[in-house]
């Protein structure tokens, strides 16, 4: 299954994110507001998941 914006609807992206957050919350702390903001950008079709990951990794590296 493709998670690319061109291959998904907004509803599918929302379902992907909700499922991923549910899994994440079962074993970790709540995502930061910045992560939620970026995931919302993916849901709305403004940014690909691979770019969300790149941004998060860059921001983590810059704060270390």
Task: Give residue 45's region: left, alpha or beta (phi > 0; psi -120 to 50).
Answer: left
- Exposed/middle/buried for residue 13 (C-beta within 10 Å: 0-12, 13-18, 19+): buried
Alpha-carbon distance of 17 to 5, in angstroms, equals 13
Torsion angles phi and psi, residue 58, rounded to 5: -65, -45
Provide the pLDDT for residue 55. 96
Every domain of the chain and the residues it spans? 5-63
- Specify the CATH class of 5-63 in words: mainly alpha
d(CA 33, CA 11): 21
Instruction: Encode pLDDT of 10-21 as tens digits.
Output: 999 999 999 999
Q: What is the per-residue pLDDT for 5?
A: 97
0.75 exceeded by pTM: yes
């Amino acid at each position: 299954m493709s998670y690319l914006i061109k291959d998904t609807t907004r509803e599918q992206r929302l379902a992907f994110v909700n499922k991923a957050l549910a899994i994440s919350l079962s074993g970790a702390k709540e995502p930061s507001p910045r992560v939620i903001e970026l995931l919302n950008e993916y849901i709305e079709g403004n940014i690909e998941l691979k770019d969300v990951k790149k941004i998060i990794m860059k921001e983590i590296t810059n704060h270390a």
